[in-house]
Amino acid sequence: MHNKVNKERRVIAGMFNNIASSYDFINHTLSFGIDKIWRYRLVKKIAINNPQKALDIACGTGDVSIALMKKGIDVTGLDIAQEMLEIAKRKTEKKYNKYLKKTSKGLKIEPTKYILASADSIPFPSNSFDLVTIGFGIRNFENREKALLEIRRVLKQKGELAILEFATPRNKVWKSLYNFYFLTILPFIGKVISKDKDAYNYLPTSVNTFPQYSEFKKELEKSGFSDVKFYSLTGGVAVLYIAKNSIKME
């Protein structure tokens, strides 16, 4: 079992390492820039008051981490794909330096730190973070149950979990348009630009096998999260889940 998990992780990390250099361009182009609005919504919807420390799991090239950093939160980004992290580090440095130039009075933000690790084995002590975020990463986890337990362990009591994930629209007309785009056009363009023949076929498959809306809400509740809310974005193409960690874990 352990070997199988490690093998799956190596395959997933390899796939993201392979597409890292084209990831941002493909993301922004194929979503017509809407992905930026989804991440903005995530940051806006954070309900917890004045979070100090956040862990951005599956941070990839760092877009969610950077958005949180700009809010003055002390962020750590975590991912299993080193090449994605290298891009995140370069982008963070640029944004941080830009911020430094803009501020004449003392700097209030910390540059995001990045670590290579997996969501199901988080190298931090219990009760370390006020906020955990996951942007379009959780459907890739090979052991989601263990990852959710780990997240509850590192979250402080009353800490918040915010997850962005793709879903399938429920409106019939919108769903058929979406399916045509998501199952035909997107894998084709993704393959041509990234030169990875599997990564953009894997995307619709992984979305279709991931629990959606109230089904995922139930899974979060089963894992011990409370006050689970979800918000449908762009007609249900993406969903934002917000949950609380009400029980303290040692």
Ligand X SMILES: C[S@@+](CC[C@H](N)C(=O)[O-])C[C@H]1O[C@@H](n2cnc3c(N)ncnc32)[C@H](O)[C@@H]1O
**124 DSSP assignment:** S
- Could you tell me the smallest distance in angstroms from the CB atom of residue 176 to ligand X? 25
Considering the complex, what minimum distance in angstroms separates the CB of residue 42 from ligand X? 9
Candidates 19, 46, 111, 137; binder of ligand X (CB under 6 A) is 137
Q: How far is the CB of 152 from ligand X (least distance, A)?
A: 16
Residue 190 interacting with ligand X (CB under 6 A) = no
Taking the C-alpha atoms of residue 61 and residue 13, their distance in angstroms, rounded to an integer, is 13
Tell me the chain's radius of gyration from C-alpha atoms: 18
What is the token pair recorded at 174? 């919108």
End-to-end CA distance of the chain: 26
Least distance to ligand X, CB of residue 172, Å: 27
CB atoms within 10 A of CB 214: 10
The contact mask relative to ligand X for 68-107 (x = CB under 6 A, - = no) is: ----------xxxx--x-----------------------
CB-wise, 169 or 190, nearer to ligand X? 190
- Between the alpha carbon of residue 153 and those of residues 31, 83, 122, 220, the distances in Å are 34, 28, 9, 14
The reply to whether 30 sits near ligand X by the rule CB under 6 A is no
Rounded distance between C-alpha atoms, residue 84 and residue 135, angstroms: 14
Contacts with ligand X, residue ranges (CB under 6 A): 12-13, 16, 57-60, 63-64, 78-81, 84, 118-119, 135-137, 140-141
